[in-house]
Amino acid sequence: MPLTRKAYRAAILHSIADPAEVGIEASYEYFEDGLLVVDNGQISALGHASELLASLPADIEITHYQDALITPGFIDTHIHLPQTGMVGAYGEQLLDWLNTYTFPCESQFADQAHAEEVAEIFIKELLRNGTTTALVFGSVHPQSVNAFFEAAEKLDLRMIAGKVMMDRNAPDYLTDTAESSYLESKALIERWHGKGRLHYAVTPRFAPTSTPEQLTLAGQLLGEYPDLYMQTHISENLQEVEWVKELFPERKGYLDVYDHYQLLGERSVFAHGVHLCDDECARLAQTGSAVAFCPTSNLFLGSGLFNLPMAEKHKLNVGLGTDVGGGTSFSLLQTLNEAYKVMQLLGARLSPFKSLYLATLGGARALRLEERIGTLQPGTDADFLVLDYNATPLLSYRLKQSKSIAETLFVLMTLGDDRTVAQTYAAGNLVHQR
C-alpha cells in the first residue's frame, strides 16, 4: 500500500501526565498554532507549525482549522450498549431501576436484527460525541457483542466489549448459566479478541447477579487468556453494598468478593466505586485495577459522590465513564461538567487539565492502552478530535472573552456537548463529520 500522509493544523492540546502526580503545568502540551502529521493511521509528528512545516514534502495535504482545538479522542471506560433505548428513564434508584427499565430493555437483544440496529446507532452516538474508544457492556446475549464488534470493525475503531454474565437474581428471560456464560464468552474471545483494534472483556454484571460458580469461571477465563479485560460494577449504591454483604457473608466486603474469585488485575475496571473505603482503594491500586468515575449516572440515580481525592491519594487509576443509560449523555464533555460539580460538593477542585487527563490519557492508563491511545505522541494511533470554538452562539461569544487555554478548556467542558465535536478521526480515518 502507498504511504498516506496528511497534516492537520490548528491549536493542539494533549495530556502527557497526571496533574496529581506532576503538577498542572507539567501535565500537558499546548501548541497555539500546532501541526499534527499522520502516516498510515498513526501519528508521526506533533509540534509547532512554524517548526514542522519546513520538514514536510511540498505536496502534502494540510487541513487548516480556524477557531478550533485538536485533542486526543475521548475514552469512555464504562457504558452499556443495550441501554441506549432507555437513557433518561424516570424515577428510580439503582436496584428498582434495573428491574423496571434495564432488564426489559436488554431482553430485546435476543433478536439479532435489533442488536445490529442498536449497535449502529450506539457507535454513531459515540463518534458524534468524540468518543473513539469505549469499554462496553453487551447484554447477556452473544449477538449483542457480535453486532457491536462487527460495526466497530468496519470503522477500524479501538473498542473493548463483553457479554454480560448473569445467572441469578435477574428475570428468567435474561439469565445464562455458569457453564453457558463460560462457553459463550470463550467463543466470543476466540472470534474477536485481538482482531484488528478490538479487545474482549470478561463481564460479570455485578456480584449479586452471579453465583460463586459463575464468578469462579470468570476468573478462570482471565487465567486462560492473559491479556483479556474484566469489567463489572462495584459499590455504586448503598442498598447494593448491603445486598452483597447478605449474599456473600463469608467475605470481608464487596471488593473482597471479586478479589477472592481472582478478578482484580491490570486490565480490570470497576465501575462507580462511590462507596469504596480507603483499604479497598489501596487494594485496587496494589493490583493495578482501575475505577470508572461516572458522575452523570451517580447523580441521576442518586447513588452518591465519587471520592476522586481519595483515589488520587492511593495512586489508583481512574477513567471517566458516561454509564449510558444510567448516565444521561454520551458526551464526555457533559460528563466532565458533572464531574466538576461532584468535586465542588466534596469541597475539592477539578482543574480543566485534570479533566482533560481523565477523558483521554487517564482513560488510556485505566485500560493499559497509553502506548496506543490517549495522547497525540508520535507512534500512537491517530484517534483525535476537532473541537469547534463556534459550535453554538453562546460558546462562540463566551470563548471570545477567554484569556488562556485553561479558561478555554474549562468553558468547552461546561458549555460543550456533541455539537462541539466538528470531526472525529479514528486510525487516521474521518469517522464523523458534524
> pLDDT tens digits, the chain, 434 residues: what are they?
456 899 999 999 999 999 999 999 999 999 999 999 999 999 999 999 999 999 998 889 999 999 999 999 999 999 999 988 888 888 777 778 788 888 888 888 988 999 999 999 999 999 999 999 999 999 999 999 999 999 999 999 999 999 999 999 988 899 999 999 999 999 999 999 999 999 999 999 999 999 999 999 999 999 999 899 999 999 999 999 999 999 999 999 999 999 999 999 999 999 999 999 999 999 999 999 999 999 999 999 999 999 999 999 999 999 999 999 889 999 999 999 999 999 999 999 999 999 999 999 999 999 999 999 999 999 999 999 999 999 999 999 999 999 999 999 999 999 999 999 999 999 999 999 99
CA 146 to chain centre: 19
What structural domains and CATH numbers belong to the chain? 5-72+376-433 (2.30.40.10), 74-330 (3.20.20.140)
Alpha helices in 25-156 (DSSP H): 49-52, 94-97, 103-107, 112-128, 142-154
SS3 407: helix
Q: CA-CA distances (angstroms) from residue 37 to 53, 57, 371?
A: 10, 12, 18
Provide Rg for the chain, Cα atoms.
21
Give the per-residue pLDDT at 285: 98
294: closest CA among 269, 276, 311, 319? Answer: 319
Give the per-residue pLDDT at 3: 63
Give the per-residue pLDDT at 1: 47
72 strand-pairing partners: 384
Task: Provide the grid cell at 403.
Answer: 484569556
Give the per-residue pLDDT at 131: 98
Q: What is the DSSP letter of 86?
A: G
Task: Note whether 332 and 339 are within 8 A (CB).
Answer: no
- Identity of the amino acid at 4: T
Q: Give me the residue label for grid cell 455458569.
A: 178
Strands (E), 256-356: 268-272, 290-293, 317-320
Instruction: Please give the model's pTM, rounded to 2 decimal places.
Output: 0.96
351: closest CA among 410, 271, 423? Answer: 410
211: closest CA among 167, 180, 242? Answer: 167
Alpha carbon distance 291, 105 (integer Å): 26
Task: Provide the grid cell at 54.
Answer: 519546513
Alpha carbon distance 331, 355 (integer Å): 13
